[in-house]
Amino acid sequence: MGRLGGKVAIITGATSGIGLRTAEVFMAEGARLIIAGRRIAEGEALAKALGPDCIFRQTDVTVEDQVKALTALAVDKFGRLDCIFNNAGGPAQTGGIEGLEVERFDLAMATLVRSVMLGMKHAAPIMRKQGFGSIINNGSIAGRLAGFSSSMVYGAAKAAVIHLTKCVAMELGEAGVRVNSISPGAIATGIFAKALGLTVEAAENTPPVMREVYKSAQPIPRAGLPDDIAYAAVFLASDESTFINGHDLVVDGAITGGRNWTQQQQGYVALRKAFDGNKGT
């Protein structure tokens, strides 16, 4: 039996990227799954590939009735809900503050923040009644520090997700329900390309480019992979983390830790040369 043997989980945004890989890893670890997304063909294909213990439900996670139906489906089909990974999201408008459009701002907040709120709202009564459960929200290092997203709106939304996670953790922890977030660093998925205007189809072909671009961005000499987030989610969904609540698990290869060692040392070399060049002045 795997680390999630006997557990029932919902994964939103499961038709690509981090959500898709997390669904595969959760299934390999023994979970029964409800996977959600907006793209029917991709969702049904994934459910078929993962087998009879995986059910796909087309869901717009910004619509409350659809999220409520999604959580109810887990109980109807499998009798319980052990974990929900509120992973669904998307890019937000890029550019400076003066060019932001209110409609696009509101849409991003609905996709990135309202969806998480709804997932927690409708998982909470089920898990509270059970006396256990793990809620996992997808944050971002862009929600912890400015300058780590092409979109300030995205960063602000993810900051809201991280703090909302902590607020809800303080409430639901009293009922035995844990609420945590994962903040990915530079993960090689198509979301960066989507933010810069590529079509969904074109963006899905860009992860190899991302792996090359970000292989030296952090001390770990490779870009982050969907696997890195998937296994972090396995840990938070499993019984290995039953005393972890209200925590934002940063998975970024230390890109937010500070300046890379080699970069720092090269800076000192350049500074020494500048000093030497000014000895006679």
Provide the annotated active-site residues: 154
- Is the Cβ–Cβ distance between 9 and 27 less than 8 Å? no
Across the chain, which distance is largest between two alpha carbons, in Å?
Answer: 82
Instruction: Name the pairing type of β-strands 133-138 and 248-251.
Output: unpaired
Whether residue 122 contacts residue 168, with contact meaning beta carbons closer than 8 Å, is answered with: no
Strand-pair category, 133-138 with 177-184: parallel
Q: Is 216 exposed, middle or buried (0-12, 13-18, 19+ CB in 10 A)?
A: middle
Distance (Å, whole) CA 61 – CA 115: 5
State which amino acid sits at residue 135: I
